[in-house]
């Protein structure tokens, strides 16, 4: 599979991250209001304290998955294991541009 087909431009990725952060802030405020309303309605602490938090956590995990997919699905150090430098001609993992 070619990973380059899913990569987005840096500016577009910045907009995606900004939108995701704005969405999480709005949902966090909504979770606070819902928590207060559940408290006023007389529900137990497990309902008004845990339910909005867990739903916000689930939404943030889904957003993290979407952002990870938009970034190309690769972690910054993926594919660079310890054995990848054994056959290098430079004499190890240190190169001239390393500080």
Taking only the tens place, the pLDDT of each residue in 23-63 is 888 888 888 888 888 888 888 888 888 888 888 888 888 88
d(CA 47, CA 49): 6
Percent of the chain's residues with pLDDT above 90: 0
Give the pLDDT of residue 23: 87
pLDDT above 70: residue 82: no
State pTM to two decimals.
0.55
Over its C-alpha atoms, the chain yields an Rg (Å, rounded) of 22
Residue 72 · residue 6 · CB < 8 Å? yes
Give the residue carrying structure tokens 């602490």: 45
- More confident of the two residues 90 and 29: 29
- Any residues with CB less than 8 A from the CB of 35 and at least 6 apart, and which? 48, 49, 51, 52, 53
- Is it the case that residue 81 has pLDDT exceeding 70? no
């Amino acid at each position: 599979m070619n990973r380059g087909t899913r990569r987005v431009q840096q500016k577009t990725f910045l907009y995606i991250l900004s939108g995701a952060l704005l969405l999480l802030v709005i949902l966090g405020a909504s979770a606070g209001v819902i928590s207060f309303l559940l408290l006023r309605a007389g529900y137990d602490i497990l309902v008004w304290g845990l339910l909005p938090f867990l739903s916000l956590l689930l939404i943030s995990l889904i957003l993290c998955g979407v952002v990870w997919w938009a970034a190309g699905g690769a972690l910054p150090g993926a594919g660079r294991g310890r054995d990848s430098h054994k056959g290098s001609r430079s004499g190890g993992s240190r190169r001239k541009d390393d500080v």
